[in-house]
Amino acid sequence: MTPVLRRVGFALGLPAVLLTVWWVLSADSTDFYFPPLPRILETLVREWFGPRLTDDVLPSLLRLAAGFSVAAVSAVTLGILIGTHRGLRDFLEPVLELTRAIPPPVLVPIFILVFGIDDTMKVIVIAFGCVWPILLNTAEGVRALDGVLGDTARTYGITGAARLRHLVLPGASPQIFAGLRQALSLAIILMVISELFAATNGLGFAIVQAQRSFAIPEMWAGMLVLGLIGFLLSLVFSAIENRCLAWYHGLRRAQRQS
């Protein structure tokens, strides 16, 4: 069995097993709330690969992308500043710790009051929640940069923007990516949550609407789509991360072997 085939087999193995079990167990189900899997899958293909893809899934994904990007840019910037200047960190820490402890879903009603019920509010909810893991990981990554590397950079006159580009960002990138990964999972959750209360389109909106109108197979289908999207986003993220952190993985491998 070739390595690729084996990897694909591992990745799809458990889901395939679980789906099969689900299929078998639910095939004769007459329970209203747990319809047979074949019916759910049929609904999924019929509903979600049609106009819903552009009407609901796309807007949701765009809001997700916007919220995530805003969070990433602002959190990495602030994280670098905090990680570099000890005084700034001490100054901001109490406020940051307080704000961070508030769960974003709790803030949604307040955000609705302040920002309304359009796309801006949803993007802000996503961004607000995603900022924290990225910020804290970035600050830690920058703070923990090797002193010898820092001295080397100073010796050769690598300061300012060059230092940021060649030392700080690459050096903190493993930590930054760890924060981004956490933020991605959070972003998907917040994307759905932001559409639960006041929305006119979106994946979360569609799922909740199906639930409220007792269109149960549609609801299940929507949840499967959500899971699928989460999985695909995670794959894309891993691909990007492996590309950017190839040096880091190599370094760790070398360290482990020695």
Partner 1 sequence: MLEVTGLKKVYEGKQRTVEAVRDLTFTLDKGELACLVGPSGCGKTTLLKIVSGLLEPTSGQVLLQGKHVQGPPPGMSVVFQEYGRSLFPWMSVRDNVELPLKQKKVPAARRRQLVDDSLSAVGLGDASAAYPWQLSGGMQQRVAIARAVAYEPQVLLMDEPFAAVDAQTRADLEDLIRDLWHQLHVTTLFVTHDIDEAVYLGQRVLILSESPTVIRRDILIDLPDRRDQLHTRSSPRFAELRAQVYAQIHRPREEHLAGRPTP
- Under the binding rule (CB under 8 A), the answer on residue 73 touching partner 1 is no
Tell me the C-alpha to C-alpha distance, in Å, between residue 153 and each of 18, 79, 138, 157, 167.
Answer: 53, 21, 20, 6, 8
For tokens 């607000």, the residue is 128
Which residue carries 């300061």 as its tokens?
159
Residue 18 in the binding site for partner 1 (CB under 8 A): no
Least Å from the CB of residue 147 to partner 1: 8
The 3-state secondary structure of 196-228, one letter per residue: HHCCCCCHHHHHHHHHHCCCHHHHHHHHHHHHH
Which one of residues 103, 154, 213, 240 is an interface residue with partner 1 (CB under 8 A)?
Answer: 154
Selected binder of partner 1 within 75, 80, 108, 167 (CB under 8 A): 167
Per the listing, tokens 């820092």 go with 150
- Residue 248 interacting with partner 1 (CB under 8 A): yes
Which of 3, 155, 212, 243 touches partner 1 by CB under 8 A?
155
Is residue 158 near partner 1 by the rule CB under 8 A?
yes
Residue 167 or 188 having the CB closest to partner 1: 167
Residue 149 binds partner 1 (CB under 8 A): yes
Q: What are the angstrom distances between the C-alpha of 183 and each of 51, 89, 131, 137?
A: 29, 21, 7, 11
Asked if residue 144 binds partner 1 (CB under 8 A), the reply is: no
Q: Which residues bind partner 1 (CB under 8 A)?
A: 146, 148-149, 151-152, 154-158, 162, 166-167, 170-171, 173, 247-248, 250-251, 254-255
